[in-house]
Amino acid sequence: MKLVRYGNPGKEKPGLIDAQGVLRDLSAAIKDIGPDQLCDAALTRLAKLNTDNLPAVQGKPRMGCPVQGVRKFIAIGLNYTEHAAELDLPIPKEPIVFMKATSCIQGPDDPVMLPKGSKKTDWEVELGVVIGKRARYVSQKKALDYVAGYCTIHDLSEREFQFELGGTWDKGKGCDTFGPLGPWLVTRDEVPNPQKLGMWLDVNGVRRQTGNTSTMIFSVAKIISYVSQFMTLEPGDVITTGTPPGVGSHMKPNAVFLKKGDVVTLGIEGLGDQRQEVVAFKL
């Protein structure tokens, strides 16, 4: 299934995209798509619905984040060999784990706002993993059983905040609007192998990133198992799993960063596309 939340910010309704690509309203079946709707039993009930009986949604409403009530937004750094190389950083021996603020989460096509004083806002297309049931000390062999589904994520980063202001990466990763998710949450039964997904990102129509999850250093299963050793993963938690090469901070011969008026488009095979216009900071 391709599950969505559509409508104005804060007033999103649950929906799904049917086999013909039609947006259907799920409001009569569930109140929202959040932690309680992500377990296997709940997803199985939704999968048994006759989509032809669900109301078709007219027009092209805004898509919100496909999951409500995200508790933790966990990120993995330097998870593609070529990306680590372009940053002149060593290949990590263990997953690099940091956090993105949940307040940065937004819809896939909502504008991206440059932080106050930003000079180095950068782009990163990433595979997102949404947890469906509580995971503590899970084995790598069973780790994918804890996944509700997958989504496209744009892990925006302010490189000066991230690398030049001291401390952890978090301050450059959690700025408002720096976490577009969606457009869909694609349930794991439709993604039999998350390590074979093509991904891309364009800025103003110019291809900047092209990659495939097959080149991850640490697989999705490894990441879930690893992170579950250090914190309990709860339903609705999101893990963003790293980006392929092509970020703006290490473009040759000169770095390129996002500016007001830029348009970023990105997508992952089978998981849908995003489009964001870059806007200036405002309170």
For 45-83, the pLDDT digits (tens) are 999 999 999 999 999 999 999 999 999 999 999 999 888
The CATH number that applies at residue 120 is: 3.90.850.10
Each residue's pLDDT tens digit, 103-138: 999 999 999 999 999 999 999 999 999 999 999 999
pLDDT at 163 exceeding the cut of 90: no
One domain, residues 147 and 199: yes
Residue with tokens 């800025």, as numbered in its chain: 203
Each residue's pLDDT tens digit, 222-281: 999 999 999 999 999 999 999 999 999 989 899 999 999 999 999 999 999 999 999 999
Rounded to whole angstroms, what are the CA distances from 75 to 25, 101, 207? 31, 10, 24
Q: What is the DSSP letter of 115?
A: P
What is the number of domains present in the chain? 2
Rg of the chain over CA atoms, in angstroms? Answer: 18
The boundaries of the domain holding residue 235 are 73-279
How are beta strands 157-158 and 112-113 bridged, if at all?
unpaired
How much is the pLDDT for 87? 78
Domain boundary among 10, 25, 53: 53
66 in a domain, yes or no? Answer: no
Angle ∠(196,201,205) on CA atoms, nearest 5: 140
Q: What is the DSSP letter of 181?
A: B
What's the CA gap between 9 and 239, in Å, rounded? Answer: 22
How much is the pLDDT for 169? 86
First and final C-alpha spacing in the chain: 37
80 in a domain, yes or no? Answer: yes
How much is the pLDDT for 200? 98
Q: What is the DSSP letter of 28?
A: T
Q: What is the mean pLDDT of residues 155-159?
A: 97
pLDDT at 6 exceeding the cut of 90: yes
pTM of the model: 0.96
One domain, residues 177 and 212: yes
What's the CA gap between 40 and 240, in Å, rounded? Answer: 21
Query: Which residue, 189, 213, 187, 186, is CA-closest to 199?
Result: 213
One domain, residues 185 and 272: yes
Q: Quote the distance between the C-alpha of residue 10 and its chain's center.
A: 19
246 in a domain, yes or no? Answer: yes
One domain, residues 108 and 150: yes
Provide the β-strand partners of residue 226. none
Residue 229 tokens read as: 């050793």
One domain, residues 40 and 87: no
For residues 150 and 194, is the Cβ–Cβ distance under 8 A? yes
47 in a domain, yes or no? Answer: yes
One domain, residues 119 and 28: no
How much is the pLDDT for 89? 81
What's the CA gap between 54 and 74, in Å, rounded? Answer: 34
One domain, residues 128 and 31: no
Q: What is the mean pLDDT of residues 137-154?
A: 98
